[in-house]
Structure 1
Amino acid sequence: MSDTNERLSKIVGDNDVVLFMKGTPLFPQCGFSSRAVAILDHCGVAYESVDVLQDMDIRQGIKAFSDWPTIPQLYVKGEFVGGSDIMMEMYQAGELQQLLDDAQVAKAS
Structure 2
Amino acid sequence: MSDVQTRIDEIVKNNRVVLFMKGTAQFPMCGFSGRAVQILKACGVNDLKTVNVLEDEAVRQGIKEYANWPTIPQLYVKGEFVGGSDIMMEMYESGELQPLLAE
TM range (shorter): over 0.9
How many angstroms does 1:37 deviate by? 0.3
In 1, the alpha carbon distance for the partners of 2:29 and 2:101 equals 25
Counterpart in 2 of 1:107? none
Structure 1 residues not aligned, in runs of 5+: 105-109
In 1, the alpha carbon distance for the partners of 2:37 and 2:99 equals 17
Normalised TM-score (structure 1): 0.91
Counterpart in 1 of 2:4? 4
Amino acid at match of 1:100: L
Q: May I ask how many residue pairs the two structures share in their alignment?
A: 102
In 2, the alpha carbon distance for the partners of 1:27 and 1:98 equals 27
Q: Percent identity?
A: 67
Amino acid at match of 2:34: S
How many angstroms does 1:82 deviate by? 0.1
In 1, the alpha carbon distance for the partners of 2:23 and 2:30 equals 8
Q: CA RMSD in A?
A: 0.8
Counterpart mapping for 1:1-109 below 5 A: 2-45=2-45, 46-101=47-102, 104=103
Task: Give a deviation string over 1:80-104, Cα, whole Å, max 9, x none.
Answer: 0000000000000110001112xx3
In 2, the alpha carbon distance for the partners of 1:35 and 1:19 equals 12
Normalised TM-score (structure 2): 0.97
How many angstroms does 1:18 deviate by? 0.1
Task: Give a deviation string over 1:50-84, Cα, whole Å, max 9, x none.
Answer: 00000000000000000000000000000000000
Matched position secondary structure for 2:71: coil
Amino acid at match of 1:85: D
Structure 2 residues not aligned, in runs of 5+: none
